[in-house]
Structure 1
Amino acid sequence: MWEERIAEAWRRIDEYEPEAFRQLIDALAAELPEGSAEAAFERASAFDSTGHPDQAVPLYRRALAAGVGGERRRRATIQLASSLRNLGSPQESVALLEAELTRDSDGLDDAVRAVLALALTDLGREREAVSLLLGALAPHLPRYQRSMANYARLLVAKE
């Protein structure tokens, strides 16, 4: 099954040189129909994961425009925002991720917040970034969840 083979390739990424890994993903993506949103996403991810966010960005945009669905849609948004931030566009990154926070919640919520915090820091909005991270971290703590959640709110409360 294609999904199993692509997942196996990603599990083994560290066994490949970057170019060889991109070629592997490209070959797997080529098995999908022309214009496939999933193929664009996988190719984008391969470029991104091997240090080429500039080549990943247009592919993430293509995947999203083509209607990539499920978890890949959210991952494409997170990864696009991260790449944009790395390429010097933190404002666009923040806009994408703030919109993403209004969508349905899932297991990637904290990843959205982590990348958003990085982008906020790039914009000089460190208090918001720390507040966001404390708010994301609080539910995972064995103790002090309520205190940390309150501190997170206080960091950005209007005085």
Structure 2
Amino acid sequence: MQALADRCPAEDGRAEFERAGMYDSMGFETEAGAEYERTLELGLNHDRHAQLPVQYGSTLPSLGRLDEAIAVLQAAPMHATTGSAPRVGLSLALHSAGRKDEALRVAIEAQIDALPRYQRSMHNYAAALTESATSDESAKR
């Protein structure tokens, strides 16, 4: 992969993006993070740009950068190539950050459109997970 990426004639960040994915798959998160950051500087085509936040956002927690992971995944665009992956990744990052009710809400909401029925009910149940936490915080003030 390294040799192929080195020969990539692209003027955008495709080679860096592919290298980052390779490092991620091998468990070298520090190297992957650096390559994702170079990719961000260089830019990507539309399809790969949609994949970048999912991959980079899932690497950042391994680097101890949970707040950045959450921000990257919250800003991730909706795209056919990624489906609900950004939202599922966000739920995992939120869970790692100890925001478990919010994580569960995001995970449920990510799947609501795929449900053949009960969408409104599931949306309401998911919303209640964090609405009670918000009410509890307001009551403490």
Q: Scaled by the length of structure 1, what TM-score is found? A: 0.76
User: 2:93 aligned with 1:119, yes or no?
Assistant: yes
CA RMSD in angstroms comes to 1.7
Q: Structure 1: which 4+ aligned runs deviate by more than 4 Å?
A: none
For 1:134 and 1:143, locate their aligned partners in 2 and report how far apart those are by CA, in whole Å: 14
Counterparts of 1:76-91 in structure 2, within 5 Å, are 76-91=52-67
Q: Identity over aligned residues, as a percent?
A: 38
Unaligned runs of 5+ in 1: 1-24
User: 1:31 is aligned with what amino acid?
Assistant: R
The partner residue of 1:57 within 21, 24, 33 is 33
User: 1:64 is aligned with what amino acid?
Assistant: L
Q: Secondary structure of 2:51's match? A: helix
For residues 35-79 of structure 1, give each alpha carbon's deviation from its aligned partner in whole angstroms, at most 9, with x where no partner exists.
641000001101101211111001011011101121211212221
In the superposition, relative to structure 1, how do residues 146 and 131 fare at CA in structure 2: closer, same or farther (>3 Å)? same
2:17 maps to 41
1:3 maps to none
Unaligned runs of 5+ in 2: 136-141
Larger RCO, structure (CA 8 Å, separation 6 or more): 2
**Number of matched residues?**
132
